[in-house]
């Protein structure tokens, strides 16, 4: 792989929703990039809160969080882009299809992406784990979770009702893949993993 290829620093994508989002977008766009996996919380690696963990995560960038994207700046140095939405915006400069072409749809997609980043806490409190599935647990379910699921259903159904009649619809939220599909994929996995998908 060329040394100028961007480097994406991630945590384990099976458990880190934010790392998964950035990785999904870059893979879908078929970008040539290198992945650096920062392993924490395994028998062989440090847990969160330990000095060793902070040192490990500092490789990702100044916030010591993942994901972060390291890109060559053309003069032998590098720029570090951190936070998933910032990475998406950077990628969209070269891959504009990452957001809808229509101006109003593009603004709406960005609004929904920001909503995912700042809302749905009760659902995102369910631990991300792509390798496991559990039966529905009524003790974990409450009104806030239910309202979050209703909001998600409203978003998805509203987008798909419009996208499904578009020429070239491929089943994504806006018909074709956008950053919003990557942003909402992890919460969909959570609904599946914890049997929260409305019947």
pLDDT, one tens digit for every residue, the chain (199 residues):
445 899 999 999 999 999 999 999 999 999 999 999 998 765 555 565 566 677 788 888 999 889 999 999 878 789 999 999 999 999 999 999 999 999 999 999 999 999 999 999 999 899 999 999 999 999 999 999 999 999 999 999 999 999 999 999 999 999 999 999 999 999 999 999 999 987 6
Number of domains in the chain: 2
Are residues 184 and 170 part of one domain? yes
Confirm whether 186 is domain-assigned.
yes
Widest Cα–Cα separation across the chain: 56
CB half-sphere exposure, 16, CA atoms < 13 A: 21
Same-domain pairing of 90 and 106: no
Q: What angle do CA 136, 199, 167 make, to 5 degrees?
A: 125
137 and 89 in one domain?
Answer: no
70: CATH? 3.40.30.10
Give the closest residue to 67 by CA, choosing from 43, 35, 89, 99: 35
In a domain, 1, yes or no: no
Cis upstream peptide for 188 (omega within 30°): no
Kindly give, in sequence order, each residue whose CB lies less than 8 Å from that of residue 195, ignoring residues fewer than 6 positions away.
133, 134, 135, 136
Are 42 and 114 in a shared domain?
Answer: no
The whole domain housing 130 covers 99-193
Residues 145, 196: contact at Cβ < 8 Å? yes
> CB-based burial of residue 13 (10 Å sphere; 0-12 exposed, 13-18 middle, 19+ buried)?
buried
Q: Give the domain-ending residue among 48, 79, 96.
A: 96
Q: How far apart are CA 21 and CA 84, in angstroms?
A: 7
- What is the pTM (predicted TM-score) of this model? 0.89
Query: Quick one: 107 and 28 in the same domain?
Result: no
């Amino acid at each position: 792989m060329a040394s100028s290829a961007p480097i994406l620093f991630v945590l384990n994508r099976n458990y880190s929703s934010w790392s998964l989002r950035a990785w999904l977008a870059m893979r879908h766009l078929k970008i040539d990039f290198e992945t650096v996996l920062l392993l924490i919380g395994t028998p062989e690696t440090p847990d969160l809160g330990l000095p060793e963990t902070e040192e490990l995560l500092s490789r990702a960038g100044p916030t010591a969080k993942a994901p972060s994207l390291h890109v060559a700046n053309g003069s032998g140095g590098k720029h570090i882009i951190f936070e998933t939405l910032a990475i998406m915006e950077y990628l969209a400069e070269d891959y504009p299809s990452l957001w809808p072409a229509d101006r109003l749809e593009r603004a709406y997609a960005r609004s929904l992406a920001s909503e995912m980043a700042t809302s749905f806490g009760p659902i995102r409190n369910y631990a991300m784990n792509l390798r496991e599935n559990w039966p529905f647990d009524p003790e974990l379910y409450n009104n806030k979770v239910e309202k979050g699921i209703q909001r998600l259903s409203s978003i998805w159904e509203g987008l798909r009702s419009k996208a499904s009649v578009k020429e070239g619809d491929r089943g994504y939220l806006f018909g074709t893949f956008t950053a919003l599909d990557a942003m909402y994929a992890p919460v969909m996995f959570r609904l599946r993993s914890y049997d929260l998908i409305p019947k």
